[in-house]
Chain A
Amino acid sequence: MAEKFVGKSIKRTEDPRLIQGLAHYVDDIRLPDTLHVAFLRSIYAHARIKSIDTSAAVKLPGVVAVYTGKDVAKIGPVPCGAAIPDMKTPTHTVLATNKVYFVGHLVAAVVAENKYAARDALDLIQVDYEELPVVMDEEKAADKNSPVIHEQFGTNIAYKLTAGEGDIEAALKSADKIVKQKILNKRLAPIAMEPRGVLARYFPGEQELTLWTSTQIPHLCRTQVAVMLGLPENKLRLITPEVGGGFGSKLNVYAEEAILGWISMQTARPVKWIEGRRENFQGTIHGRGQVGYVEIGCKKDGTITGFRYNVFADMGSYFQLLTPAIPTLTGLMLSGCYKIPAIQMNVTATFTNKMATDAYRGAGRPEATFVIERAMDLVAAELGMDAVEVRRKNFPAPFGAENPFKTATGLFYDSGNYQGALDKALKIADYTKLREEQKKARKEGRLMGIGISTYVEICALGPSSAMPAGGWESATVRIEPTGKVTILTGASPHGQGEETSFAQIAADELCVSVNDSTVIHGDTAIVQYGIGTFGSRGLAVGGTAVYMAIQKLKAKAATLAAHLLQVDASTVSFADGKFTSKAAADKQVTIQEVALAAHLARNLPADMEPGLSATAFYEPKNFTFPFGTHIAVVEIDRETGEIQFQRYIAVDDCGKQINPMLVHGQVHGGIVQSIGQALYEEVVYDDQGQLVTGTLMDYALPKAIMIPHMELDSTETPSPVNPLGAKGVGEAGTIGATPAIVSAVVDALAVFGVRHVDMPLKPETIWQIIKKSTAGAA
Chain B
Amino acid sequence: MKKAINVTVNGVTHQSEIEPRTLLVHYIRDVLNLTGTHVGCETSLCGACTVLVDGQAVKSCTMLAAQADGSTVTTIEGLAQGGELHPVQKGFWEHHGLQCGFCTPGMIMTAAQILQRNPDPTEEEIRHGLEGNLCRCTGYQNIVQAIQCAAKKMQSKAVAR
Contacts and interface: CB of A to CB of B under 8 A. Distances in A.
B108 A19 contact: yes
A15 B107 CA distance: 14
B96 A703 contact: no
Interface string B81-123: 0000100010011101011111111001000000000000001
B138 A669 contact: yes
Given A25-B38, A116-B19, A707-B141, A244 B93 contact: no
B13 interface: no
A244 B101 contact: yes
B105 A21 contact: yes
Contacts of A733: 139
Interface residues of B, number: 55
B134 interface: yes
Contact of B75 (A16, A21, A24, A705): A21
A665 B138 contact: yes
A624 interface: no
A696 B134 contact: yes
Interface stretch (A192-200, A219-227, A608-616): A192-200
Given A244-B101, A704-B127, A664 B96 contact: yes
A9 B137 CA distance: 18
A20 B80 contact: yes
Contacts of A24: 35
Nearest to B99: A495
A494 B135 CA distance: 14
Contact of B140 (A11, A16, A672, A695): A672
Given A16-B93, A27-B35, A704 B45 contact: no
Interface string A695-727: 111000101110101100000000000000000
B41 interface: yes
A276 interface: yes
B100 A15 contact: no
Contact of A194 (B29, B34, B102, B141): B102
A633 interface: no
A276 B127 CA distance: 27
A696 B46 contact: yes
Given A21-B75, A193-B48, A194-B38, A704 B93 contact: no
A20 B98 CA distance: 12
Contacts of A12: 93, 96
Contacts of A707: 127, 139-141
A668 B134 contact: no
A593 to B, nearest CB: 34
Interface string B132-153: 0111111111111000000000
A21 B98 contact: no
A18 B135 CA distance: 14
A704 B42 contact: no
Given A25-B38, A193-B136, A495-B99, A20 B127 contact: no
A245 B142 contact: no
A244 B102 contact: yes
Contacts of A22: 36, 77
B130 A193 contact: no
Interface string A184-196: 0000000111110
A697 B43 contact: yes
Contacts of B100: 192-194, 242-246, 494-495
B65 interface: no
Q: Which of B75, B96, B108, B123 has the most CB of A within 10 A?
A: B96
B99 A695 contact: no
Contacts of A19: 76, 85, 89, 92-93, 98, 101, 104, 108
B37 interface: yes
Contact of B21 (A28, A116, A494, A703): A116
A672 B104 CA distance: 17
A647 interface: no
B77 A668 contact: no
Contacts of B19: 116
B40 A194 contact: yes
Nearest to B130: A704
B112 to A, nearest CB: 12
A662 interface: yes
A12 B134 CA distance: 21
Given A19-B89, A703-B130, A709-B141, A673 B136 contact: yes
Contacts of B161: none
Given A21-B105, A25-B38, A277-B43, A704 B140 contact: yes
Contacts of A703: 130-131, 134, 140
19 contacts: A9-B96, A12-B93, A18-B98, A19-B108, A20-B79, A21-B75, A23-B36, A193-B102, A245-B99, A665-B96, A665-B142, A668-B138, A668-B140, A669-B137, A673-B136, A695-B45, A696-B45, A707-B140, A709-B123
Given A193-B135, A194-B38, A701-B136, 5 more contacts: A21-B37, A22-B36, A194-B100, A495-B100, A672-B138
The 4 nearest A-B residue pairs measured at CB? A21-B36, A244-B102, A495-B100, A18-B101
